[in-house]
Amino acid sequence: MKPSVVAFLVVFLLLLALVVILVPTLYYTLYYKGYATPQCPLANETRGYDDRVDCAPEGDVSEATCVERGCCWHPVNVTGIDARPPPECFFPSNYGYYMVGEPEQTEKGWTATIERLHTPPMFGDETTKLKVEVEMQTKSRLRIKLTDAENHRYEAPLPMVPVEEDFDALDVNSTSEAAYNVTFQSTPFSLKVTRKETGTVIFDTSAGALVFSDYFLQLTTSLPSENVYGVGEHVRGRYRHAAAWKTWTLFSQTSQHAREGANLAGVHPVYMCIEEGGYTHGVFLHNSNAMDVVLQPCPSITYRARSAASLTSTFTSALHPSRSTSSTARP
């Protein structure tokens, strides 16, 4: 072979190697320019991988797709016949929104403005700025609303709920009036509701990333116990939910021969949780579109709605009639 041909081949191979190396690097640099590096938590010392929130709700995705979304990739092998593997693609701890300034107190609660952290979009068309409204409707009923701060979105009509107490007489800062304390975390934004009498955290959105886009909404909260009921209507052999990466679809349908776990005609996006000590609380997510509800072993619960509408969570609580020092829940 002539020296000129050898030299040409050497130059060609070097150029090919540069293209193979530089093109993916250039794509990554342009795509992720300015994006925050995902903070991927390792296994929790006490809960293992149970606090992961799935970043691939549509099913199996590749590692490349997972990374493009700004999420973490770490497959885990599990053993046991009934063992369910934790999500291999999951949200980092620095995904979601941050609070702009401090929450402002209103007559019945607080309002806050949050803006999206600079992370890759999950499905695109992420809403940049949201308005958060927290309203104490009664001493034991709290309403949280998330909506687009800059554009009007459809909101499902909210039925009139009888109010047992005078709003004007309710002091949200009084330790003797409202049943809850509400606290805000700035970055990533989260909201925590604590029962004053027991100190139990009954609602905490730091358990998972908040996603608010044109056609996909996601909200996660931790649960004070695994005694969770509701979320229907489905064919189910037990009342109490198993918090084991189980997904329940809320989409009205009728079937004469529905299989175990199938969704039925009723749509009830509300759950009840029995806390230690016998207290109970219920959370209702007001949204008019089809949704999935996922229970994680942490324990935590995730609502996913296919909608461009607003999200409203209303919850109330009461003392269980059979209050005892420990909660015994019916399976």
Report whether pLDDT(31) > 50.
no
48 occurs within a structural domain: no
**Distance separating alpha carbons of residues 178 and 202, to the nearest angstrom:** 14
> Do the Cβ atoms of 72 and 91 come closer than 8 Å?
yes
Arithmetic mean of pLDDT, 158-162: 62
> Do the Cβ atoms of 295 and 241 come closer than 8 Å?
yes
Q: Which residue has the higher pLDDT, 330 or 233?
A: 233
Q: What is the pLDDT of residues 228-253, one digit of tens each?
A: 998 877 677 777 887 778 888 888 77
Q: What end-to-end distance do the CA atoms of the chain give, in Å?
A: 80
Report whether pLDDT(156) > 80.
no
Res 321: pLDDT:
40
Res 103: pLDDT:
95
Report whether pLDDT(78) > 60.
yes
> Do the Cβ atoms of 50 and 86 come closer than 8 Å?
yes
Question: What is the Cβ-side half-sphere exposure of residue 171, based on CA atoms within 13 angstroms?
Answer: 5
According to DSSP, the residues that pair with 109 across neighbouring strands are 135
Angstrom CA distances, 262 to 62, 237, 244, 266, stand at 28, 11, 17, 12
28 occurs within a structural domain: no
**Distance separating alpha carbons of residues 232 and 313, to the nearest angstrom:** 17
Which of 46-50, 247-251, 279-283: highest mean pLDDT?
Answer: 279-283
Query: And the tokens for 119?
Result: 């992370």
Which of 55-69, 174-188, 226-240: highest mean pLDDT?
Answer: 55-69
Q: Which residue has the higher pLDDT, 152 or 222?
A: 222
112 occurs within a structural domain: yes
Classify residue 37 as exposed, middle or buried by CB count within 10 Å of its CB (0-12, 13-18, 19+).
exposed
202 occurs within a structural domain: yes
13 occurs within a structural domain: no
Arithmetic mean of pLDDT, 69-84: 76
Average pLDDT value for the chain:
78
Longest distance between any two alpha carbons in the chain, whole Å: 97
**Distance separating alpha carbons of residues 153 and 186, to the nearest angstrom:** 25
**Distance separating alpha carbons of residues 75 and 72, to the nearest angstrom:** 10
15 occurs within a structural domain: no
330 occurs within a structural domain: no
Report whether pLDDT(100) > 70.
yes
- Residue 245 Rama label (left phi>0; alpha psi -120 to 50; beta): left
Q: Which residue has the higher pLDDT, 46 or 114?
A: 114
Which of 90-99, 146-155, 235-244: highest mean pLDDT?
Answer: 90-99
Report whether pLDDT(7) > 90.
no
Confidence band, pLDDT 50/70/90 cuts, at residue 157: confident
Q: Is the dihedral of CA 296, 301, 302, 303 positive or negative?
A: positive
Domain enclosing residue 141, as ranges: 97-319
- Count of Cβ atoms closer than 10 Å to residue 102 Cβ: 10
Which of 116-130, 140-154, 179-193, 279-293: highest mean pLDDT?
Answer: 179-193
How many domains are contained in the chain? 1
Res 122: pLDDT:
84
Classify 23 as helix, strand or coil: helix
- For the domain that residue 183 is a member of, what is the CATH number? 2.60.40.1760
Nearest C-alpha neighbor of 130 from the set 107, 153, 109, 108: 153
According to DSSP, the residues that pair with 184 across neighbouring strands are 191
Report whether pLDDT(188) > 70.
yes
Cα Rg of the chain (Å, integer): 24
Q: What is the pLDDT of residues 304-319, one digit of tens each?
A: 988 655 566 665 655 4
66 occurs within a structural domain: no
pLDDT-wise least confident of 110-124, 153-167, 238-252: 153-167
Report whether pLDDT(86) > 70.
yes
How open is the CA angle 284-238-307, to the nearest 5 degrees?
Answer: 30
Res 28: pLDDT:
44
Q: What percent of the chain has pLDDT over 90?
A: 33
